[in-house]
Amino acid sequence: MVKGRAARRWWCGGALLVSVLALLWLSGCAEVRSLQPQGLAAERIADLWWFQFFLALPFFLAVVILLLIAIRRHSRGGEVRPRNHGMTMIVWGGAILPALAMLALMSHTIYTLVGVTEPAERAELTVEVQGKLWFWNIGYSNSDETIFTANEIHIPAGEPVALALSSDNVIHSFWVPELNGKRDLIPGVPDGFWLQANQPGTYHGQCAEFCGAQHAKMHFLVIAHEPEEFAQWLEQERQPARMLMEGDENFRGQQVFLGSACIGCHTIRGTDASSTIGPDLTHIASRQTLGAGTLRNVTGNLAAWIVDSQQFKPGNLMPPMPLPSEDLIAILNYLQSLR
């Protein structure tokens, strides 16, 4: 009977271990997202993590060893009696050492918090980041105007970039694991944050606060360029689209766009489309994804998205647009010319 119970316990333990390993293995099916720090703030956070890990390790090992000794004595039928130096153990092991460890941990945490909250040097560039349902509006201002793009934050590499975070709907959380920690976007409470990418590259970002049905499809990219390349990108991004005239290539596509429901939600700078409910489409063709990382921005996906984005991202504000095929092709060609 006792033997049967022990065997059952072994089986349960084995099954649990296999399930945990299977879960770890299956998690490899998800797209690989790196947690390797690639920026100043993320490095400080990783340092804190390792500090905490190595600080906790000896305590953990000591507790496990003491526990094993006690189990061994108990299983041999020996009596576990308090020793004379029990009090010393309690004072050192239960008070002094933990207090010192907590003090060290607290100091390092405060030091890291200060380091990740404010950039070491004043940032020259400030990027506006607005959390929407469910995408990100990204704004660049100069003395004349603020231009918007969506779901892609282009920055110069190797320098701190300030972010002005805001939300006019629900709470979102801005997170680029490789570059910095998380920062919530609280409606009505504009907040500052910053990023720095040590090297040019593309870094994945994700909303990290549940914000509704499509929270999981609220991705974004941080694209860090060499500073000169970034200046060129910004210069290009500032250019409005050209208002096309009859006889111009893609004129029909533009007219379909301006004559349909598209104009009720989107902006294409330079044309009559100036609504700000959905993402700005002035340079839509230069972006990598559609629907905040839902689909890759290629012709077939763009067509499917226009016809019925609800099948990819149910609940988003864009209604299905069942256009006649010639109109759809015209609008596709027009949108893909907006680079």
The residues that touch ligand CUA, with contacts defined as CB under 6 A, are: 131, 134, 172, 207, 209-211, 215, 218
CB of residue 208 vs ligand CUA: minimum separation in angstroms? 7
State how far the alpha carbon of 137 is from the alpha carbons of 98, 148, 151, 153, 242, in Å: 46, 7, 7, 9, 22
CB of residue 175 vs ligand CUA: minimum separation in angstroms? 10
150 DSSP β-pair partners:
137
**What angle in degrees, to the nearest 10, is found between the helix axes of 251-259 and 325-336?**
110
In single-letter form, the type of residue at position 228 comes to E
Q: Which is nearer to ligand CUA, 215 or 287 (CB)?
A: 215
CB of residue 142 vs ligand CUA: minimum separation in angstroms? 28
Considering all CA atoms of the chain, what is the largest pairwise distance in Å, rounded to the nearest integer?
A: 99
Q: 14: how many CB neighbours lie within 10 A of its CB?
A: 10
Q: Which is nearer to ligand CUA, 108 or 215 (CB)?
A: 215
Q: Which is nearer to ligand CUA, 167 or 271 (CB)?
A: 167
> Cβ(194)–Cβ(159) under 8 Å?
no
Q: Which is nearer to ligand CUA, 10 or 210 (CB)?
A: 210
Structure tokens at 171: 């709470």
Q: Which is nearer to ligand CUA, 43 or 209 (CB)?
A: 209
Distance CA 325, CA 319 (A): 17
Q: Which is nearer to ligand CUA, 209 or 280 (CB)?
A: 209
Give the CA count within 13 Å in the CB-facing half-sphere of 335. Answer: 27
| Among 237, 223, 256, residue whose Cα is nearest residue 338 | 237
Spell out the SS3 assignment of 115-130: HHHCCCCCCCEEEEEE
CB of residue 314 vs ligand CUA: minimum separation in angstroms? 15
CB of residue 167 vs ligand CUA: minimum separation in angstroms? 8
CB of residue 126 vs ligand CUA: minimum separation in angstroms? 21
Backbone angles phi, psi at 152, to 5 degrees: -140, 125
CB of residue 182 vs ligand CUA: minimum separation in angstroms? 11
**What angle in degrees, to the nearest 10, is found between the helix axes of 40-75 and 97-117?**
160
Distance CA 289, CA 291 (A): 7
> Cβ(136)–Cβ(151) under 8 Å?
yes
Q: Which is nearer to ligand CUA, 132 or 252 (CB)?
A: 132
CB of residue 169 vs ligand CUA: minimum separation in angstroms? 9
Q: Which is nearer to ligand CUA, 134 or 194 (CB)?
A: 134
State how far the alpha carbon of 31 is from the alpha carbons of 51, 135, 154, 222, in Å: 29, 20, 22, 17
Q: Which is nearer to ligand CUA, 164 or 170 (CB)?
A: 170
CB of residue 2 vs ligand CUA: minimum separation in angstroms? 52
